[in-house]
Structure 1
């Protein structure tokens, strides 16, 4: 009688949908929900929902880095590949087109967009956790309730979405980001590259 030898067991971490593979992502979602009160969408990777606790300005990372050097203090900032997400007060994305017009950037082609209600960004690992290759990461991380009494202020219009005027200035941030997006676009054009060609953007940032 022939014996049937069962195939070798695959470790749970290597199995599609295995519990060990999913646990870190699930843990990240719980951290954002419990420590920061941010809504998340399940899955792998976890997504942070915009339009509730915050909106996001999404820009080319090279332009975002230059803008951050100009404006200094901001809210949390995340990197994902060659794109940067700057977290701002909820409602800011809806105001972005009008604000750009007011700042005289209306009609100028900019690689700048706002994510508000119904949007989402990829959740980086919580601060202090290792970042897997190719994953999103925090350039300026949020702080948990264990580190402070309340969440950090997000860039906002004066009196709009801020607490006692302690929020960084959204107008100054948007103007700086728009300026750097335009400057990066002109640089790519002078180099003979298409305006939004990612090849003109560095793969690593200091």
Structure 2
């Protein structure tokens, strides 16, 4: 796994298989794969979201270091506080399983079909801090190439997690989550500009 240490300069721990240490260069948002795929499909330029890994039935989105500490307050500010979401952040002192190099043939990992893989791999030569969402007010990425802001990402991911949970509880119920329906329900998120 020299690719992580030498090319990307990411700290690793343990092994084999090695793990990526969170809280130093990046944190990771951990959500159900169904919610992660739904959230990824919402953005017109998902390549600006930063690296994304799939580990079993979980999606791990790399975000700015310090996000793990900010996530509870951010969810509260977005008015998701008190709602059970299957969304957590991996931060300082935690690790996530390291996916194989994105160019390695999948059969090299055939011994372990549950091995994590990159959905959107990191790009060598790009500083990770400049490619992951950070806490700032930002709209969806524009032509400047600025990553989507953490606030927008967490709002979309929380909504996707909530939809997955509701569908699991009531599979025959059609669900709509427009801005207007959240206003009527009294769970309208605050404006991202206030």
The TM-score normalised by the length of structure 1 is: 0.72
> Superposed, which structure 2 residues align to 1:38-57 within 5 Å?
38-57=10-29
Residue 75 of structure 1: aligned partner: 50
RMSD of Structure 2 on Structure 1 (CA) = 1.9
Which of the pair has more CA radius of gyration? 1
The whole-number CA distance in structure 2 between the counterparts of 1:172 and 1:57 is 13
1:102–1:185: structure 2 CA closer, same or farther, 3 Å change rule?
A: same
> Superposed, which structure 2 residues align to 1:79-90 within 5 Å?
79-90=54-65
Cα offset, 1:165, TM superposition = 9.1
Residue 143 of structure 1: aligned partner: 123
State the SS of the aligned residue for 1:70.
coil
The whole-number CA distance in structure 2 between the counterparts of 1:113 and 1:130 is 31
Cα offset, 1:167, TM superposition = 3.2
- Is the Cα contact below 8 Å between 1:78 and 1:139 reproduced in 2? yes
Offset from partner CA, 1:83-117 (integer Å, 9 cap, x none):
01000000011100000000000000000000100
The TM-score normalised by the length of structure 2 is: 0.76
The higher relative CO (CA closer than 8 Å, separation ≥ 6) is in 2
Do residues 113 (structure 1) and 88 (structure 2) align?
yes
- Is the Cα contact below 8 Å between 1:153 and 1:168 reproduced in 2? no
Residue 167 of structure 2: aligned partner: 187
Residue 36 of structure 2: aligned partner: 64
- Is the Cα contact below 8 Å between 1:158 and 1:165 reproduced in 2? no
Gaps of 5+ in 1: 1-27, 193-206
The whole-number CA distance in structure 1 between the counterparts of 2:145 and 2:115 is 34
